Structure 1
Amino acid sequence: MKTQINKTLFIIVIALQSYFPQAFISENKGTVTIGNENLERVISTVPENFGTIEIKNIISKQSYKIHSDEFMLDIVFAGFGPGLGQKQNGENPSHITPKDLTYNGYTKSSLDAKTAQLTFNFSYGGYLTSLEIQLIYNVVSGENLISKYLEIKDNSAEINFLDRVSLESMSFDKINLSRGSFGQPVLGDDFFLGIEYPGVENSIGKNKVDLHYVVGKKIEKEPLKTFSSVLGVSSSPGTLEKTFYDYVDKIKIRGTRPFLLYNSWYDFRNPAIAESKESIMNTQNVLDRIETFKEFMVKRHGLNLDAFVLDDGWDNYKSIWEIDTNHLPQRFTPFLNPLKEMKTSLGIWASPFCGYSNRDTRVNWGQQNGYEKVGDFLCFSGTKYKKQFEKKMVEYVSNYNLGYFKWDGFLLACNEPNHGHLPGVYSRTDLIETYMHMMKSVAKVNPNIFINVTVGSWLSPWWLQYADCIWMQGEDYAYAEDVPSMNPRDKSITYRDAVLWQNFQRDSLLFPMSSLMTHGIIKGRLNFLGGKNEALASFTNEVMMYVGRGVTMWELYVSPDLLTENEWNAIAQSIKWAKANFPVITKTKMILGNPLKREAYGYAHSTKEKIILLLRNPFVESKEIEIKLDESLGEIDKKAELATYTIYPYLSYDADKLNFGEKLKLTLQPYEIKVIELVPIHNKIKGVELGNRYSISGDSLVIYNDTKEQKVVIKNEVKPNQQEKLLTGEFFFELGKENLQSTIAFLFEPEVKLKQEVKPNFKMIINGADITPTVEQENGKWFWVYTALPGNQNKISYQIESTKNVKGKLEFYLFRDVKLQIKDIKKLSKNNDDQLPPRPFSEGIKKVVNKILSYNIK
């Protein structure tokens, strides 16, 4: 009976092992294999040929025969005689691979029920040298990657120096290798390689790849542990990027979370640089802002800030990050209870290299008091400065329960020899490790702290093992010169997306949009950005672009008391929409064209449940686009039939029965920002027919008829005439009754960029009345000139006056609001509980742009 029970248990165990695959290590003659149900790495243990000889991707059923050195150590040997493998005294460093060492076998172990560990042991003995090296692999059942690292120690005189380490050096028979810039992974067809370190450097040759980084440390008796390399596999080339991003999600120190904050930079500053009493960072002004957020955001819209952030302005310039008690006499204490009532943490800005405004005061004081200076900065790896920086940051987290840091300003290197670190490229290693140490230190006090690292950083996904967000690169804000825009905020959107296009399209960097800082919504007393008379549509468009890109740290660089109720509503509805769709918008890929070439572009967010597309046309000419619904967008349900809805800037039912592999075709109107949702067709809204515009109000569904537009006919045209540096012309047109309001605009693009002294003056005469039009331009490269029209019958005269005759393209446009007719009002068959984005204009409005005239001025 007992024997039968044992047999039964044995069968059950075997069955469970086959049902729940395990990580394993298997041995064959001359090889050891480590792997799991998804991948295997076959390693030759023959000493003269030690290294990986095959990678098996079980998921894609692909196998790669390779030659690998497995690791290489660049060691600078001290002492007497030539270094290992060298012929002459003074030849350094030695390039050491396993073949140069004594192989001492391997051991197998289990770290836990799911993790198998394989350790190879090597040694080398020489003059004043006794090296022990362990090469350690880990694999976890169910995962699709294998990691490895080295532990190196010297049991002798500790006089040798590890210059750099290579953790992967592979040669393939034939392979397609790509990406691999500084701090990035290397991609094969269905696998990725990387070192989990922001300073990883990759060398890619024909069928060859080497992954290494600078170490710059002595080898001592205490083992030096390297960062880990990772080998991950995917099911196909089309899913490789998604596989890599899934891996990044797992290594993020605090995962991906929505984080809403206010930042004070464009609201108030240090008294030394403030522009008015209202813009001084002092106790009363800060308390007033907290109260304003409590009223407008919490009470009226039910949203809580995650952090209230004091940017540059809180510290005493003549100190190392001490609070300036001249304008904050009680330090941060008065803010804590009011913020606690809002369920909001205090956050602060600090700059490792000492900031921007009045940096010279900070740095000079620091140097005079014994802190390490390099150029115009303090050295973040300087022994004294980094100790004091860490002390103050940890102190503030402890004393004020800080929930957020914005660390702004990271030096690329420091070449000073007396700061307690090595100069040259080794200082970069020390700077990176100092940053890592600082992030770990504050997280020990508050494990949930949000850390945002800005200027000086770079887009390596391995920063996210320590930080929550990394700066996108570029400027805080700027204006795109190459793309004519009719308002400043629109120009700034194009600039920001151009930087992102360079990151993700031109340079093909792999970094999750969800962990990117792109700078937030700016409208403060120190920078209105969109102008003091900005239209609601302009502001709302940027808010929608901001959250729609897929960033998840939402920054409000605003003066809360200056926002209108409609602007608050735009912010609140956008944030609520983003939170409602958080699992989708965190899966992002930038798609389509280059904003700086006036091409349509966008961002795709894709899961099996829903696809969201944020699309933008940055120019005044409409764009026809096609988007193929396949794995290139991300995860997608290959079996689902999809219905397509526009949810911004209006609601419409656009297409149905779209299937995997088919193309979504649509037109983007001039300057249009559009958000489209694709959902399984069984989730479509009942009562809305294909092609209908509609709106939802409570339990009512309003259906609109598309209005037939009257063609704009130009009459009495006087073509442009240029004499004595004055260009003139005129024309007449009449609009139909469906027209609610309209703007006449012309775009002048000179053949060459005009210098300040040549920039023209513009004048319009509408129905005999002189008008001073609005002019938007950028560095003399183009000029938008526009004004609202008083009615539907209009005689337009125009003048362009300059210090010399101008040449270029002159085009006239009508921007019109056309009223839509209500076709039907229905009761919703069920309550619509979907959170919708805000509306930049009224539901019953159609935006129409007509190009009416075009000239080449010679």
Structure 2
Amino acid sequence: MLEELKTLERWRRQGVALDYFVPDTGWIDHSSDLTQFAPQCFPNGPGGVVEAASRAGMKFGLWFPVSWGAMSNSENPVVWPDQIPTPGEEAEPGPPPLVYENGYLKEGGAPARLCMASEPYFTIFRNAIQHHIRHNKLKFFKLDGINSYCNSAHHKHLPGKYSVEASYDHLIEIARNAREAEPDIALIWYWGVRSPFFALHGDAIFESGLYMEGAGTSWFPTLHYRDSVALNLDQSTRFATTIPPINKDSLGVWLADNRWGNFMGSERWREALIMDLGRGNLLFPQLWGDLSLLDDRDVEFLASMQALVKKNELILLARRRAFGDPWKNEVYGWAYFKGGRGLLFANNIHFASRKLVMDLGPALGLEAKPGSALDVVSHFPERKRVTREDGSAFRGGDRAELWLRPFEVLMVEVGPASGAGALGPPRLILAHQAENLGISLSLKPEPLAVWMNIEFAEADRFEREGERKRAEALAAALPSLEGEQPILAFTVRLRKDGQEWRYSPVVAEVVQIVARIGSEPLVLIPVPDARQFGNTQKAGCSWVVYKARLRRQWSRERVEIAVHSYLPAGVETQVEGWIVRQWWHESGRPLPDGFFANEPS
């Protein structure tokens, strides 16, 4: 943490000033009264971290697990009577077992679910937050893992469904007491709070009603893992109709080379940041994870975005308008306008270019006299002047049509024409250019060749589970590969009875593609790869993309593939092939082969 705070001090000098520093899970001494930090990680207590946060100009915050005893303090015998019984069990739980795995307690502590409406756990929890306010300058706290249903007949609340009200009343009391002790404190309600009325007692609500978090994909395949995560977050945001955008915790951007963050690293983090800004919540920029994954150019970009946001704060506090449908994976996005000026955020999560259509008038909230000249400027992915194809300016009331390139996130500012000449070079993407950036391959079936035969490492297990081995061969002619770096991508979607069918841990375990161009074998990289099944992604995924960068001398060559799978009866594979031109800047590290995924170094 101290190293991260040194990084944040340096960022501050580079123009990035963040408000809060909030350690997540792992800080708690599980045998304590929640006032103590884990001694193996904080042998001298949290004082150095709290002071370093102050030096970096940040307020200190903490994450608290409400009912997740293993992450809270279920190793403290005092709270054992406050356990929530497993449904169907008549006896009250006894001491939780201490189960070890790989040198540590499994799940981080003694497995138990703790009841917030029971004593002494409620008082311990409330007093702990008061302690951290007084002694550790707590200005932000996050309440996570809330289980409001308790069927204990020994706690001082009615059991079963009647316990829910008591649990939430106690949580509201904790929030109220915290704000009485520190009026400047901020609170995020995380897993377990779904009602928009809790915004009356806190600052942000995470849950949308969908089982997803900041590292889980949607059911639409993408060239990069994070892009499908961004689509999932936008689907969730659109679904959360009862929560005001300003109060909806949209989860920010996860930067992680660990299982919880699904090894996303920093790949496509800038695109994710722009779409997170577009969702409209107050927590911006919200970065979760390893800040060392960002370099000086990233910090420069972050500083420019933070300055842009502060300059346009009143616009971003205006009503959010939506266009397109992320649930259907159309070109979609968000718009904010105040009077004659506004910002628009659009996303094209697709392997081909598609058009964004904007009605520059009341539909987006723009107050502009019909026919009046407008300045339309893109701030991302590059700063350019947005015009008609003939180079003339857009006007109030126009229907503007812009090509979005494959997997492009676009942020534009619209305002009255200023007459200034420093709006940047024109953004000019003509139809023939757009169509060449993402080309669908015409895959045709062909007989399986001898070189296509493969074996699955887990074939015996799949056979025991009753899954059926299948293979199909397909081929297509490649287009010209001149110009920007061509990427070959094959998408495989799993369907059953017309609906997506999910597999866990990763589809790459049961679907494998082998490929050849001419007589040369081609190594394909799977997305998601074998490591990317942590967090809510463990619930399963319904697709895999196999991709590879191509040599330009393979222009017009024939590509042949074999799609092998082990799937239950009734589950079908839908395969598409694409050539996508890498028009974007890519900062992520190249992914290694399967040796890195599951073998020792």
- TM category (shorter chain) comes to 0.7 to 0.9
AA matched with 1:412: S
Query: Cα offset for 1:746?
Result: 2.9
Quote the Cα distance in structure 1 between the aligned partners of 2:255 and 2:54.
25
Tell me if structure 2 keeps the 8 A contact 1:754–1:780. Answer: yes
Tell me if structure 1 keeps the 8 A contact 2:493–2:543. Answer: yes
Query: Cα offset for 1:740?
Result: 3.6
Question: Which of 467, 488, 498 is the matching residue for 2:225?
Answer: 488
Query: Cα offset for 1:404?
Result: 1.0
Tell me which protein shows more strand as a share of its residues: 1
Query: Cα offset for 1:333?
Result: 1.4
Identity %: 18
Tell me if structure 2 keeps the 8 A contact 1:488–1:530. Answer: no
Matched, 1:326 2:87: no
Matched, 1:521 2:253: yes
Quote the Cα distance in structure 2 between the aligned partners of 1:582 and 1:668.
26
Query: Cα offset for 1:495?
Result: 1.3
Tell me if structure 1 keeps the 8 A contact 2:214–2:233. Answer: yes
In structure 2, the partner of 1:353 is 67
Question: Which of 281, 288, 303 is the matching residue for 1:551?
Answer: 281
Q: Which consecutive residues of structure 1, in runs of 5 or more, have no partner in the other structure?
A: 1-285, 695-703, 819-838, 843-858
AA matched with 1:392: A
In structure 2, the partner of 1:692 is 426
Tell me if structure 1 keeps the 8 A contact 2:214–2:229. Answer: yes
Matched, 1:309 2:27: no
Matched, 1:799 2:558: no
Quote the Cα distance in structure 2 between the aligned partners of 1:780 and 1:502.
20
Quote the Cα distance in structure 1 between the aligned partners of 2:443 and 2:189.
58
Matched, 1:463 2:175: no
Question: Which of 480, 490, 497 is the matching residue for 1:734?
Answer: 480
Quote the Cα distance in structure 2 between the aligned partners of 1:371 and 1:759.
43
Matched, 1:452 2:188: yes
Matched, 1:654 2:390: no
In structure 2, the partner of 1:362 is 74
Q: Secondary structure at the match of 1:686?
A: coil
Q: Which consecutive residues of structure 2, in runs of 5 or more, have no partner in the other structure?
A: 87-111, 450-470, 530-539, 588-601
AA matched with 2:206: W
Quote the Cα distance in structure 2 between the aligned partners of 1:541 and 1:293.
22
Structure of higher CA gyration radius:
1
In structure 2, the partner of 1:227 is none
Quote the Cα distance in structure 2 between the aligned partners of 1:618 and 1:314.
38
Quote the Cα distance in structure 2 between the aligned partners of 1:298 and 1:430.
44
Query: Cα offset for 1:813?
Result: 2.4
Residues 409/710 of structure 1: CA separation in 2 closer, same or farther (3 Å cut): closer
Instruction: Describe how 1:309-708 pairs up with structure 2 within 5 A.
Output: 309-324=22-37, 326-327=39-40, 328-354=42-68, 357-358=70-71, 362=74, 365-368=77-80, 371=82, 373=84, 375=86, 376-416=112-152, 418-423=154-159, 427-460=163-196, 462-473=197-208, 474-504=211-241, 509=242, 511-527=243-259, 529=261, 531=263, 535=267, 538-553=268-283, 554-629=285-360, 631=362, 633-634=364-365, 636=367, 642-650=374-382, 651-654=384-387, 656-659=393-396, 663-681=399-417, 683=418, 685-686=420-421, 692-693=426-427
In structure 1, the partner of 2:581 is 816
Query: Cα offset for 1:798?
Result: 2.3
Residues 799/707 of structure 1: CA separation in 2 closer, same or farther (3 Å cut): closer
Residues 528/562 of structure 1: CA separation in 2 closer, same or farther (3 Å cut): farther
AA matched with 1:476: E
Q: Secondary structure at the match of 1:517?
A: coil
Query: Cα offset for 1:735?
Result: 4.1
Q: Secondary structure at the match of 2:22?
A: strand
CA distances 1:122-143 after superposition (whole Å, capped 9, x unpaired): xxxxxxxxxxxxxxxxxxxxxx
Query: Cα offset for 1:644?
Result: 2.5
Query: Cα offset for 1:430?
Result: 3.3
> Looking at both structures, which has the greater relative contact order when contacts are Cα pairs under 8 Å and sequence separation is at least 6?
2
Residues 580/840 of structure 1: CA separation in 2 closer, same or farther (3 Å cut): farther
Residues 534/765 of structure 1: CA separation in 2 closer, same or farther (3 Å cut): farther
Tell me if structure 2 keeps the 8 A contact 1:602–1:613. Answer: yes
Quote the Cα distance in structure 1 between the aligned partners of 2:204 and 2:172.
14
Q: Secondary structure at the match of 2:129?
A: helix
Quote the Cα distance in structure 2 between the aligned partners of 1:318 and 1:710.
61
Query: Cα offset for 1:605?
Result: 1.1
Normalised by the length of structure 1, the TM-score is 0.53
Residues 513/533 of structure 1: CA separation in 2 closer, same or farther (3 Å cut): closer
Residues 840/453 of structure 1: CA separation in 2 closer, same or farther (3 Å cut): farther
Quote the Cα distance in structure 2 between the aligned partners of 1:493 and 1:629.
26
In structure 2, the partner of 1:771 is 522
Quote the Cα distance in structure 1 between the aligned partners of 2:202 and 2:299.
30
Q: Secondary structure at the match of 1:763?
A: strand
Q: Secondary structure at the match of 1:670?
A: coil
AA matched with 2:32: S
In structure 2, the partner of 1:723 is 448
Quote the Cα distance in structure 1 between the aligned partners of 2:281 and 2:434.
39
Query: Cα offset for 1:709?
Result: 9.0
Tell me if structure 2 keeps the 8 A contact 1:718–1:729. Answer: yes
Residues 452/358 of structure 1: CA separation in 2 closer, same or farther (3 Å cut): closer
Instruction: Describe how 1:175-214 pairs up with structure 2 within 5 A.
Output: none
Quote the Cα distance in structure 1 between the aligned partners of 2:510 and 2:444.
22
Quote the Cα distance in structure 1 between the aligned partners of 2:443 and 2:227.
32
Residues 633/457 of structure 1: CA separation in 2 closer, same or farther (3 Å cut): farther
Quote the Cα distance in structure 2 between the aligned partners of 1:440 and 1:709.
55
AA matched with 1:562: L
Quote the Cα distance in structure 1 between the aligned partners of 2:443 and 2:577.
13
Tell me if structure 1 keeps the 8 A contact 2:153–2:159. Answer: yes
CA distances 1:740-768 after superposition (whole Å, capped 9, x unpaired): 42222233446655976994432333464
Quote the Cα distance in structure 2 between the aligned partners of 1:550 and 1:463.
18
Quote the Cα distance in structure 2 between the aligned partners of 1:804 and 1:351.
39
Tell me if structure 1 keeps the 8 A contact 2:473–2:561. Answer: yes
Q: Secondary structure at the match of 1:396?
A: helix
Normalised by the length of structure 2, the TM-score is 0.74
CA distances 1:342-364 after superposition (whole Å, capped 9, x unpaired): 11122111122245x556x6177
AA matched with 1:365: P
In structure 1, the partner of 2:460 is none
Tell me if structure 2 keeps the 8 A contact 1:762–1:798. Answer: no
